Homo-oligomer: A and B are copies of this chain.
Amino acid sequence: MDMKEPVNLNAALASFDEIYSPRIVARMNDYDIRIAKTEGDHVWHAHDDTDEFFLVLDGQFDIAMRDTACNETTVVLRKDDTFVVPKGTEHKPSSPGASILMFEPSGTSTTGDRHDGAIPDHVDSTVGHEL
């Protein structure tokens, strides 16, 4: 058995402070389970080939989405809320402060396959870091 040890989400969250810089807590098949701390505005971006699952562990996490006519919708997510951003959907997370869990294919970039303008300094463009 290629067994890994259990990982506690609270211990994992306590091990780093960086904002919008996901840590990989587990891998299953070719997917990552990642956690992140969020605060402020992310960047408009889209993942062309994958949905993205979010679970809010604490705080509030908002996801603005826009369609091809640039009509915007925002979902406001709080602790224990789950949401899936469909693949190809342009979206911009923002948050007054939260911790979140995400499922996505390994290799998925935090800033998508395409994004608007410059990536802010407080947003880490990454495929996730080891814990």
**Is A41 interfacial (CB-CB < 8 Å)?**
no
Instruction: Pick from A4, A6, A28, A51 the residue with the most CB of B within 10 Å.
Output: A28
Count A-side interface residues using an 8 Å CB cutoff.
38
| 0/1 string, A75-100, CB within 8 A of B gives 1 | 10100111110110100000000000
Q: Which residues of A contact B (CB under 8 A)?
A: 1-4, 6-10, 25-29, 31, 33, 50-53, 55, 65, 67, 73, 75, 77, 80-84, 86-87, 89, 101, 103-105
A8 to B83, CA, bound (A): 9
| Residue from B1, B2, B67, B82 in contact with A8 in the complex, judged by beta carbons closer than 8 Å | B82
15 A-B pairs in the complex with CB atoms less than 8 angstroms apart: A1-B65, A1-B67, A1-B73, A3-B89, A6-B83, A7-B82, A7-B83, A9-B55, A26-B84, A27-B51, A28-B50, A29-B50, A29-B87, A29-B105, A33-B82
